[in-house]
Every structure is written in C-alpha cells, then in structure tokens.
Amino acid sequence: MACPENMFFLIGLFMSGVLACFGQQDLIATMPDRLDVLTGSCVQIPCSFDIPDKHKYKFNSTILTSGVWMKDIPYFDVRPDNVIFNSSETVNRYQGKITGNMSQKNCTTVFFNVTTSYTNRYYFRIERQPFRVTDIGKSVDIVVRDLPSSPIFTVYGELKEGNPVSLSCSAVAPCPEHPPELTWTLPTQFTTENQLQENPDQTKSVLSTVTFTLSYLHHEKNITCTAVYPVGTSNKTAEHNMMLNVSFSPKDTSASISPADPVLVDSCVNLTCSSTANPPVTNFTWFQISGGKTTQVASGQSYSLNVTAGDGGLYYCEARNSHGCGKSKEVRLAIQGQEEPVNPKVFEIVGKTLGLLFLFSLIVFFAWRRRTSRLPSGFDMTDRSQGQNSPAGTVCFNQATVGRGNQ
C-alpha cells in the first residue's frame, strides 16, 4: 500500500504546502542536479543565486556575503555539524573555494582532493548578519567514483563509402582546471578539433570532433576515443569503442568456373560469383560474351549448366546491392575438341556464305591462337581485381573505386 511513489507524492504535497504557508523561497539557488566526480580530483559546482523580491533590500552587493555549503539536509539549526564549508572560516571540513564573485551572485565553488566520502547531497546558504537564508528546495548530488565514466560518441552523417563523416566524442570535465585529454584511434588519417564547452546546466565537457572520408575498407574497423584524466601525479583513463558499419557497393567481385579445365559437351559446369558488400549482395547476374555480343544468361550466385556446343566462351558476373554494382573479370568456359568459341550466330553466317565462313574461321582461329598462347599454364581463373577489361556494352556502372584512396 505505502509504495514509494505515494510517499514521495505525500512529501511533495507537504513541501508545497509548507511553501504555500510561508510564502516563496528565501533564496533561489541554481546548480546542476548531479555531478560525477573522480576521487583525488577536484569538483567545480556551477552555482548562482538570486534573492526574492521581498528580501531584496536585505542584500547589499557591496557588503561581503559568506557562502555556506551543507551536506545531506538543508536545516543548519538541526545539524550544525553538517556544515562542510563556510567561506567566512579559514579552516573547513572540505578544502574548497568559492571562485564565483558573490557580489555578482555567483556562488560557483570548487572542492579539492575529493574522496568517496564526499558522495552526498549538498545545499547552499548565504549569510550576512542578520540575513541568513538557505534554498531548501535545490541541491546538487555529488557522486564520487574511482574510475571516470566513458566518453560519449555522436555520429553525424550516414556511414556510407565516399561520405564525409563527423564523429564527436564528449567527456565530462567536473574539474575544469584539469580537463581530460581526448585522443582518437581511427583506421585512417583524420583531423581533430578539441574544445572545452559548457553544457546547459553550466557543467563543463571536453568535446573532440573528428572528420574523415569513409571507405569500404573502414567497414568493421574499430574506432576508439580515449579520455585521459590527470589526477594528482597519475592519469585515469576511460574509453569508448565503436565498430564502424560502413555500407558499400559490391567489391572484389570475382567469377570462378568449376571444373577449370576444358570440358566435354554434355558435362556439367558450375560458374560461381563471389563478392563482398554491405548490405549483402541481393542480385547476381551472369553474362556470356560470344561473338562480340554480351547476353544475360542467368541470375543467382551459381550458374550450373549442361554444356552444349554453343556454351564455350567468356563469362562474367555482376553483383548488386542497394548501393550499386560490382563486375567480375571474365572467365573462359573451354570445350574439349572445340577449335574456337562459336555461337549460333556463326552457324547462321555459315548457312549463308560458305566462303565467308572460311575467311571468318581463319581470322578467329588466329586470334584465338594468339590469345591462348598468352595464357600461362595453371592460369588462375578467378581474378580479384575488377573493372578492368570491361566488355563493351555492359550495364554495370562500376562504383568500386569510390573512397579507395583513403586508407
């Protein structure tokens, strides 16, 4: 029944009732809700205050006003030992300093040599006889840790090959006198820009922005932002890792033929296309080049065929994803006993003019002889490079070289 929400609700109701009864606050303090701090380091509490109209005449900026910090509860009268800092005292429980100009209602305070026991809730009070007021409704939670929290990444721009991308890394600087130093580990050259910036709650952060051009070679590479916090004579580090997921058009497209040796008519031959792409290839298309003409013969990563006399010749494949297309080099399907790659078109010509066939065969024969004599034995049928020796009239626009020069 007495669940925490109800309790808080009742407390809130009670508090607002108190405020309603006694009028407005006596002091309006502004500070962050929470500060994460490193042991051994300092903490700067950005703080400002204002005096409500009814008390305004009591505040004279030319007269020194002292600032007091209390931990845990805002009621000084109940627990005077909760006062951990009083700017009018020379010795305090917490080593600190009000760095803000109190005359300008700036109560920004720095505490040095923070220890884990400082983890608590803190309230602010101003004192100038006889005017002493505390903002009981506003406090800052200081959380002291031994290790810094990880910096935070922000990515601007789509992670796509050829795109310029900006990454920023932000690390909190609770002790702006000793801000963290940010360094990057990237798979490429880059330029950085570092700056100390103020957050909306007046706390400080160090922001480092890096800009570079993405290449498909950056896909699945790690990038790291490391924050080094100087603490006394040593350093404390925190880092953030991110694996780049770069989308790119098919790369390293290659076609292979199995078996690679010349085959007999009626035997089975497999042509296989391979490629790397992100997102993966959605469409493989096979083309045959025969008699100077390119024909689409199949789709699918593998193309199996029962060899007929007209199947000999050059083949290549195209791999396609949403970002573009990659084309393989050509592979030759050689048929045993066949003197030259022929196709039905040649037979058509044969039927029409025998003399022309003789002349044509001679030309093709010698062309083939010159070509095959250039192929070394054990010729690797697959070829990792692409975009070269492109057959005329192909439909695949090759985007392969985009971003290649950035590694």
Residues within the interface to ligand NAG (CB under 6 A): 48, 60, 62-63, 66, 68, 76, 83, 86, 88-89, 95, 99-101, 103-104, 106, 108, 112-113, 127, 181, 222, 228, 230, 234-235, 241, 243, 245, 247, 258-259, 268, 270, 278-279, 283, 285, 299, 302, 304-306
Instruction: Give all strands of the β-sheet with 109-111 in edge-to-edge order.
Output: 43-45, 109-111, 96-98
CB of residue 7 vs ligand NAG: minimum separation in angstroms? 30
- CB nearer to ligand NAG: pick between 2 and 57: 57
Selection from 151, 183, 149, 198 nearest residue 44 by Cα: 198
- CB nearer to ligand NAG: pick between 252 and 340: 252
CB of residue 10 vs ligand NAG: minimum separation in angstroms? 30
Note whether 199 and 34 are within 8 A (CB). no
CB of residue 262 vs ligand NAG: minimum separation in angstroms? 13
Note whether 157 and 165 are within 8 A (CB). yes
Q: Give the H/E segment covering residue 344.
A: helix 344-352
- CB nearer to ligand NAG: pick between 208 and 278: 278
Note whether 288 and 318 are within 8 A (CB). no
Note whether 125 and 132 are within 8 A (CB). yes
- CB nearer to ligand NAG: pick between 244 and 350: 244
CA 80 to CA 82: how far, in whole Å? 5
CA 262 to CA 267: how far, in whole Å? 10
CB of residue 60 vs ligand NAG: minimum separation in angstroms? 3
- CB nearer to ligand NAG: pick between 154 and 304: 304
CB of residue 390 vs ligand NAG: minimum separation in angstroms? 16
Residue 120, strand partner residues = 142
CB of residue 361 vs ligand NAG: minimum separation in angstroms? 29
Note whether 254 and 267 are within 8 A (CB). no
- CB nearer to ligand NAG: pick between 150 and 361: 150
Q: How many CB atoms lie within 10 A of CB 328?
A: 30
Q: Which amino acid is at 11?
A: I
CB of residue 179 vs ligand NAG: minimum separation in angstroms? 11
First-to-final CA distance of the chain: 64
- CB nearer to ligand NAG: pick between 117 and 234: 234
